[in-house]
Amino acid sequence: MKTQFYILLSLKTPQGFTDYGQYFLGNHREAAYGLFGQLKGSIEIKDNCLLHIDLMETVNELPVRIKTICCTLEELATNGKLIAREIFRLKNMEELL
């Protein structure tokens, strides 16, 4: 089975964190780690952190959280643009190969 990577978006609610979106990155470990390393945010998770971005990997079809960053709404907007651009680039490169 192939390992797959995705970015999971979640926000804090009174009941805890709720997932609200994800970006599928494919099965290229280097590309997934490289993209996540470019995202804006803090690796220090604090109590007042309302927005999380997680790098996830499926292992034996089970989700495993690899890394998490905390970000502001402005950083989330910047990250969304970066993620979309990078996925577009990766998918178009696959088409060329």
pLDDT tens figures, 27-83: 889 999 999 999 999 988 777 889 999 999 998 889 999 999 999 999 999 999 999
Q: Decide: 33 and 3 in contact? Cβ < 8 Å.
A: no
Q: Decide: 5 and 27 in contact? Cβ < 8 Å.
A: yes
Distances (CA, A) of 51 to 7, 24, 28, 90, 97: 13, 19, 25, 26, 36
Give the closest residue to 65 by CA, choosing from 32, 40, 39: 32
pLDDT of the residue at 96? 57
pLDDT of the residue at 13? 93
